[in-house]
Structure 1
Amino acid sequence: METTLDQAFQAQQRAAEKAKEIGVNANITILDTAGYLKSFIRMDEAFLGSIDIAIGKARTAMLFRMNSEAVGEFLRPEAHAYGMVNTSGGLVGFKGGMPVKSGGQIIAYIGVSGGSPDQDFQIAQAGSTL
């Protein structure tokens, strides 16, 4: 199922509202199910260095259809797949990337960066269900 622009904006708006609520200036990315950029916002004062991280989190979630931190479990040295981080153009295995679902189906992927991993997770989670 393909995400509409309205759905992407709705997910992004929910995430931005959460970011404002918790005091984080975030970069928020929405990718379609094929991994292409559907929508992006950089909140005022959000770190420029977090742009690529937000995109990477969403892309990591898309490539494996799971939260980016779940992929991160495979990237740890103890998992014996540590080199996997360098595949697919680079993976970002910490909190802040996840599927966006509507009616139980994945319609997009969200990636957030700008706060701590836990804050990024809260922000992404706010935009992950439509």
Structure 2
Amino acid sequence: MSISYQHAIKAIDASIEKATALGVAVSLAVVDINGYLVAFARLDRNGDMIDFAVKKAKTALLFEEVDDRLEIMAVRTSNYGQRMFGFTKNMLAIGGTAPIKDLQGRVIGVIASSGGSPDQDMDIVGAGARAVFECGQKCGHEH
């Protein structure tokens, strides 16, 4: 099962709320389990990070690393890691992603943020992922 548009927007809205509270202008992307873009938002004053959020989400899903471990792996592998992630224009191994899970703990999508510091991006996407999970708990339905 993959994330619905309704739940992707719920994740985006919660992430926007967190980014606004932090005073950070970000771009946000939610992809489904096949890596297809479901929802996207670009906050005012964030013009440089439009593609980054989508690339980060797709890369995290592809490598099944939806936190900062993928960035650490790329940095630690030095030139090899740089070449590995440089082979395509559609990949970006930078932290700031979070899995969106259903009530059984299965990943149904990934949310990514670009524009804040690594810690800010992680806080922002964490708020989005939690909002979808909490909705499932309150509403008593799958995503």
Partner SS for 2:129: coil
Percent identity reads 33
Q: Distance in 1 between matches of 2:87 and 2:107?
A: 23
| 1:17 and 2:17 correspond | yes
TM-score by length of 2: 0.81
The root-mean-square deviation of aligned C-alpha atoms, in Å, is: 1.8
Checking the alignment, whether the CA contact within 8 Å between 1:65 and 1:99 is kept in structure 2 is: no
1:92–1:69: structure 2 CA closer, same or farther, 3 Å change rule? farther
Contact 1:31 1:58 in 2 (8 A): yes
Q: Is the 8 A contact 2:70 2:95 kept in 1?
A: no
The CA deviation at 1:21 is 0.9
2:92 maps to 92
The alignment partner of 1:111 has SS state of strand
Query: Which string of whole-angstrom CA distances, capped at 9 and with x for unpartnered residues, describes residues 14-53 of structure 1?
Result: 111110111111111011111111000111222x210111
Retained in 1: the 8 A contact 2:26–2:115? Answer: yes
Larger radius of gyration: 2
Specify the alignment match of 2:139 in structure 1: none
Q: Any conservation in 2 of the 1:69–1:95 contact (CA below 8 Å)?
A: yes
The two structures have a TM-score, normalised by structure 1, of: 0.88
Consecutive unaligned residues of structure 1, counting only runs of 5 or more, are: none
